[in-house]
Amino acid sequence: MVAQCIGLNRRCDVIVSGKGTLMNCGREDCIEEGYIMADDHVISTTEAQAATAAISRICNSIVDSSTLGSSRLKDCVKLPRGEDRNEWLAANVTDLFKQARMIFGIVYDACTAESCQTMSAGARHEYFWTEEDGKGGQRIIEMPACDYIDYLLSAVGDQLDDETSFPSKLGEPFPPNFIEIVKSIVKRLFRIYAHVMTAHIEVIATLGAISHVNTSLKHFVLFIREFDLMKQEDLTPLASIIDRLLPRMTAAEVTQAVNAVTSTPPSVRR
């Protein structure tokens, strides 16, 4: 039977032994780049194609963007010339909300109160829900991830529908603290990616949706970096994945690039 070596950006056909154990595909680049081997979820090519078709119906907008490279995505998040910054932020945050909701939809059946008893992102990160306690303070509540995400999506949806925060009529003023509202929303939405990609990566792989989820995460990170909407430490739960998807230049590489530019004769520079 033919199964697949499931990686971040592609899959390699590999042979499954008689006992159903997935053998290493043997490609050096797969090994070096740390591609995920689906040891516990061996699926045939036919099953993978069927799963991919099913999941594409769930997240059409993500599927459409999955063919875009990082350079195209970088261009997509930049503020167009002449566009109002707040209008652009509002439109994109609404899109990020829809994408995060669809990402959770991929693993919805697998994320239950039994399988995910807390809203966590790996062993070191746990999130708690807070609400007013009726006495002027806040109550901290631990709850299953599925409930936390349902609450989160409902709360963010209400914010996006609030005309005082996100005016729908062109030309209406945004609130003075609009950027802080946006920062709060994207910080919350990231937690959905953090939980889904740390707790349910095997489900995503089995459904053939890794490239879709990766592209959505890349879009999210490029957008929040473009407008400085999140602190680097808030991205810690997915830091290794983000660094692989969107590698940053090292200090040495930055120095080398700067030297290359500054050493170019003025008459040649553009």
Which amino acids are annotated as binding site for Zn(2+), given as ranges? 111, 116, 195, 200
Which parts are annotated binding residues?
A: 111, 116, 195, 200
Distance CA 226, CA 222 (A): 6
228: left (phi over 0), alpha (psi -120 to 50) or beta: left
Please tell me the distance from the alpha carbon of residue 108 to that of residue 190, in angstroms, as a whole number.
Answer: 17
- Tell me which amino acid residue 210 is: I
Q: Which long-range contacts (CB under 8 A, 24 or more apart) does 125-134 make?
A: 125/194, 125/236, 125/237, 127/191
Burial of 245 (0-12, 13-18, 19+ CB in 10 A): middle
Euclidean distance between CA atoms 45 and 4, whole angstroms: 7
Note the Cα 54 to chain centre separation in Å.
Answer: 20
Beta-ladder partners of 12: 5
Quote the CA–CA distance of 177 and 186 in Å, as a whole number: 15
Q: Determine the Cα–Cα distance for residues 268 and 114; give it in Å rounded to an integer.
A: 64
